[in-house]
Structures are given as C-alpha cells and as structure tokens.
A and B are shown apart, each in its own frame.
Chain A
Amino acid sequence: MKTKFGIKEVVAIGIGTALFVVLTNVQVPFGIIPNTALQSRVAILTFFAAVFGPVVGGAIGLIGHALGDALFYGGVWWSWVFPDALFGIVVGLFASKYAIREGGFSNGKTIVFFNVVQVIGNALAWIGLAPLLDILIYAEPAAKVFTQGVLAFIGNIIVAGVLGTLLAAAYSKVGAKSSSLTKED
C-alpha cells in the first residue's frame, strides 16, 4: 500500500478533481426515479483511486464532490460528500494489487478482484455511510435515505464496473510491454 504524498499526488488530486467537477453534470438518468443517474464522474474517481491509491482517491472524492456541489448546485451535501471519499479510499487501498500502471490489469483475476473491491466500496459508501450520515446530520427518514442509497449503489457499481474496468484495462495497456507485437502483412 502506498501512502506517499508527493508532488505527483498533489497534481493528480488537482487534475482528477477538475475532471470530476467538469463531469458533474454529464449523467445518464436511469428510470423515472429522481436524483438518480449514471454519473460519469464516478468513472473518474474509480480510475484515479485505482491508479494513484487511497490518498488521491479519497481526496478527489471529498474535494471533487464538495466543489462540484458548491459550483453547480450552490450547496454542499456533506452526507454524500464523505461516502464518495470513502469509496475512493476503499478502491485505492488495493491500488498496488491492480498494478494498472505496470500493465498488470489484464488478467481475469485482477479484474474480478477490482470489481469485488468496487462493489464492497460502493456498498460501504452508499448503503452504509450515506444513509447513516443522512440520518445523523439531517435527521431524514431511514426508509427514504436507504432507498436513495440503494439506487446510488446500483448506479455507481454499473459505472465503476463498466467504465472503470474498461478505463483501467485500456490504461494498463499503455504501460504494458509492446515487444510481443509483430507487423503482419
């Protein structure tokens, strides 16, 4: 596990956050339920956490969500900010296991492991922490916040599972050795 906090990490947080904020309103709404959508920014968070580790992941979740909320929606919903940070941390904890930059994210086992982690991370964040904070901070009704949490959970595992996996796999190829390639006629 890497918890270094050097210049590269600072910049990764900065640029990752900028991406997260810009993609805040790039969403695909699903179904008829309000306030739920496939959020493209989740892919950014998942990818950066998986590549750069828990500190960068957690920070992008925290700063990105707070900043995005404030700039786009004029308010900060702290009870949903912290779960994003938690998700970033959980996914990032195992960054060295996915070895994305070293080209390790290509075999089935790693991909399955990554997805198990992201599902657990999403569960902890959206079925665990988010409703809990909603109840503690805003005293909102339990039934309502759990319903929202489950919807967020479903949306986010889809985005992290599809886009996150594809992104990690594609980026992993950049780092992979290309010596095995031959020109064909």
Chain B
Amino acid sequence: MEPIIEFRNYTFKYRSQVEPTLRDINLTIYPGEKVLIVGPSGSGKSTIAHCINGLVPFSFPGEAQGSLTVGGKEPAKEGVFGMSKTVGTVLQDTDGQFIGLTVAEDIAFALENDCVEQEEMFARVDAVAEIVDVKKLLGNAPTELSGGQKQRVSMAGVMVDDVDILLFDEPLANLDPATGKRAISLIDEIQKKKNTTILIIEHRLEDVLYKDVDRIIVIGEGRVAADCRPEELLCGDVLEKQGIREPLYVTALKHAGCALAPETHPEHVETMELAPYAQQVRNWFEKAPLPPKEKKTEPMLEVLDLDFAYITGRPVLRDIRFKIHKGEMISVVGKNGAGKSTLSNLICGFVNPDNGAILLGGKDIAGLSIKERGEKIGLVMQNPNQMISKPMIYDEVALGLRARGVLEEQIKEKVYDTLKICGLYPFRNWPVSALSFGQKKRVTIASILALDPDILILDEPTAGQDYRHYTEIMEFLKELNEKHHITILMITHDMHLMLEYTDRAVVIADGRLLADDTPAKVLTNEEIARQAYLKKTSLYDLALRCGISDASAFAERFIHYEREVRRKCRDY
C-alpha cells in the first residue's frame, strides 16, 4: 500500500530559532491508520502537525531538509490552501477555530470559501452535522455551546470537505473527562465509518487509549523516540524517560513490581489479561503503608446553604454547603458549566448570593467589597496572560501592594520575599515576556501571594500543561501548602490533579453539591463519576479485577505511595 504521509530524513528549523525543532524524522503512515503522537511540550510534536497541514513553512517560516509527502503532494509546494482539501485540522483552541456566527455558518466556512452554491451547502452541512450530532444546534451562537459541542462543530467544519486525513491537535485539553471520552469515541466512529486516516496529537495517553489506536509515535527533543504498537510502548520505559504520563493502572502495576508483557494487552484495563499480575498486586496492596489520618484544624472558609441565579427561576447553584479547613488543599470538581466558576465568583464577591452566607475565619464576609475580600482571598485566573498587566516581573508582583498604598520600602521587601518563595528571585529584573508559560503562572501566583491571603483559589491551574509542567506547578503548590501553610482551593476538571494533590474533593453537578469526600472515594464511585461528568479512575477497575474489593482504599494507598516517591524526589 502507498503511504499517505511520509517523512524521509526530515529536518526543520524555525527562522526565529537557532536549533532545529525536528531532526532527521523518518515516519510512514498508511491510509486508514489511526496514529497517536505523544511527546512533552516543546518536543516538536505540534511542528509535525504544522508540517503536514502546510502551516510550516507558510505561516511559520523556516528551513527544511529531507522530504515530506502527504497524499502524494508536497505541503511545502502546495501551501496551506493546497493541503486543505487533503488534511483537516482540528485545533486545540475551539474558541479560536469557531469562526462563524452560528454553528451552521462555521461548518459551511470552508464551502463558502470554495464558492459552493447555497443549496448544496445546506445539504452538505446538514449531512455532516448529523454525523457529529450537532444538527439541533445549527442556529446556535458559540456562546451558547459547551466546550465539547464546539469541538464537534470544529470536526464537522473540516469533515465537510471530505478530507483524507484528520489531524487533531490536543483534542482533550479543554474538555472534562466524560466529554473527552465522548470525543475519543466520536473520532473512532468517524474513522470506522469513513476510513479516514487519523492523527491525534495529545499527551493524555490514558484518555486517548479509551479506544484502540494502531500505533503510537513518541517524539522527544525533535526525534522519533518510539514508533510502535501501544502494547509494546506500555511495557517499555520510553514514556517515563520522555516525561509522558503512563496510564495510572500501568504505573500501579509497575509499582507492584510486575514486568508487563505485550501479550497481556495492557492498552485497556477492562480487557487486559491480569492473571499473571493479580497476586503481585494483592501483595503490594496488603503491604503498602496506609495514608496518615489527617488532623482536623479550625475551618477557614465556610460556605453555608448558598443559592444563586443569574436569571430568577434558573438557579445556577442551590444549597451549596462545605467547609475548608486551615491548611487544607482541596478541589472543586464537576463538568464544565456545572457552576464551579460561579462558586468562586461568589466567594470573591464578583456576584452576590441570593441566599446563604460565606464565612471566612468564622465571620460573614457579605459586607466586604471585592477589594477587601481580595486581601484575604487570592484568586489566580486560568490564563496568566489575562492577569499580567505590567511588563516587568517586579512591578507585576508589586501591583496589588501599590494599589493598597503600601510604602515602597516595604513593597520591595515583600516582593523579594515572595519571589524567593516562588523561585523567581533570579528573574526579578526580567520582563514578563521572557518567561515560559509555567513561569508566568508562577508570577501570577506570586502577585497574589504578595498580598498575604488566607486562602488561594486557583482556576484550572494546570489546563493545557504537559506532564512535566503539570508536575512542576503542582509540586510548587504542594510546597506552598505544606511549608508555608497556605490553604488552597482548586477548581478543576483534571482527575489526576484532584486524586494526586488534594485531600478532599467537593463535587458539584447541575448546581448541587453531589459529594464532599476524599478524591479516591469520589473517583471510585461510578454513580458520582457519571453525574459529575468525571470518569472513574482506572485504579478502580484494576483493583476489582485483581480481586481487591475495597477499590478506594487501593486508590488511596497508590496515591500515598506516589506522593512519597515525589516527596523524596523533591527533598532530594
């Protein structure tokens, strides 16, 4: 069979960079294959996508050596337009890709540019909308859609052209776990129905593996680090070396000392052959140390029977009641649009509750202004670029203090102290623009910490981060929590985050409090996971299938074990 994508000794260097981003890539992909490309940020995996769809070298100029053919064409000659009939790209940023004013117009966008007649457009848009199940939404504006729906519209928008290759750039980055699962199913269906070649670029390996892929290509530092079947990859150590997270159950099996064999098909926890490993897992479970009981401290923040509605009669939150104790690190989880952000808006005073109260250190804060609350409750936004308003790091961290009229002498001391805590002190005289995304995130955290808040609220602290950056940010937060005793509340839909880093999860679904329990218990409860659009953790299946009935205890011990390993790394 003729390959549909073929890289031969391909090297590429961006004009703005000194070193090549891709080095000597050799890759062959055949029609109808479903291939997953993984690799940490900066490994060059996105550059591979850009080479295939023609954005390299047209939108991102640079020099290439070697050859690349896609569908018999050379992207470097055809240009972006020439490739758009062969390759359909679904971008990570579904808001950026949604160009039309309504769903129908967005799906029709490519057809409009091809001067297709209106009647024909109506028919083709209807047909493709049917496939991705957005037919009822054709007249809706993007603001009326959820993240998952927007993504399905993006898929329809490229499928309308009957492309041979579908390229997904981090399709799971902005989705809650259940919606992500649905996206992966949909991609699978499309591939089976239309026999399209599918390329998925993603670092959330476990979530993509929910449905079979033919091959996984690991990119590390611009080179192909592995190109093999998933079962082979999972049994080796390439993933760990490249800083890509393995599926949790695989890590658990490895912790238990099992040497995984490809014949046992470890791609899916539900179907893999566990007989050779079960005894070892049970032994590990019995020996693994129990996590210490947490000590109770006095409550820091109490949310009492909170009701809220933007429009009367359509409540966003009802009867929300929970407590955060001093020094805790907890997560508020639930599907997109469940009311999580509204909750943080209520706590910060951006909107006021219809009923109920919020107590901070035992005192009702209803009477406090946004600014006054800001001194006690620090809010860190998801996107640091939306928060940073000063060109220099020092000024950014000093902003809140200056607004409060603190003397410049004291400001300097406080800013330097904070920068030291956040590991940014060596950069104190740098412009913010010279920092990486993760460092910018630290700057925003520093700018809030400088105000000495009692509690820190972080909105999706790890969204869009690869495993290394994720770990870096989370370890930093853990350190703030443990060494500097800062109470932390995180709003997230990242299950790994809640499981590994938080002591407790407050689960909100459809505006109501669904659960308030340890993450391990929440994520091993099928009913809660379903209602909150979470996914039960694969540790649950692993435990049950190995004959351990107390799955949540298994998950707890596993997490405790992992934390100890990380703590040793950190202290070391």
Contact = CB atoms under 8 A, between A and B. Distances in A.
A and B touch in the complex (CB under 8 A): yes
B427 interface: yes
B430 A169 contact: no
Contacts of B434: 178, 181
B433 interface: yes
Contacts of A184: 425-426, 428-429
A161 B428 CA distance: 28
Nearest to B390: A170
Interface residues of A, number: 10
A75 to B, nearest CB: 24
Contacts of B425: 184
A116 interface: no
A134 B426 CA distance: 57
A173 B427 contact: no
A170 B395 CA distance: 13
B427 A183 contact: yes
B431 A173 contact: yes
Instruction: Tell me if A's interface is mostly helix, strand, loop or mixed.
Output: loop
Contacts of B431: 173, 176, 178
Interface in A76-133: none
A170 B391 contact: yes
Contacts of B428: 184
Interface size class of B (residues with CB under 8 A): 10 to 19
A183 B391 contact: no
Given A169-B391, A170-B391, A173-B391, A178 B427 contact: no
Interface string A154-185: 00000000000000011001101010010111
A23 to B, nearest CB: 15
Contacts of A174: 433
A181 B428 CA distance: 11
Nearest to B389: A170
Nearest to B428: A184
A181 B431 CA distance: 9
Contacts of A183: 426-427
Interface string B431-444: 10110000000000
A79 B428 CA distance: 49
Contacts of A178: 430-431, 433-434
A71 B426 CA distance: 49
Contacts of A176: 431, 433
A178 B431 CA distance: 9
A170 B430 CA distance: 13
B18 to A, nearest CB: 10
Nearest to A14: B99
Nearest to A167: B391
A100 to B, nearest CB: 13
A11 to B, nearest CB: 9
A178 B426 CA distance: 15
A184 B426 CA distance: 4
7 contacts: A169-B391, A173-B433, A174-B433, A178-B433, A183-B426, A183-B427, A184-B428
Given A176-B433, A181-B430, 15 more contacts: A169-B391, A173-B431, A173-B433, A174-B433, A176-B431, A178-B430, A178-B431, A178-B433, A178-B434, A181-B434, A183-B427, A184-B425, A184-B428, A184-B429, A185-B426
Interface of A: 169-170, 173-174, 176, 178, 181, 183-185
Q: Would you list the 6 A-B pairs with minimal beta carbon distance, nearest first?
A: A183-B426, A178-B434, A170-B391, A174-B433, A173-B431, A173-B433
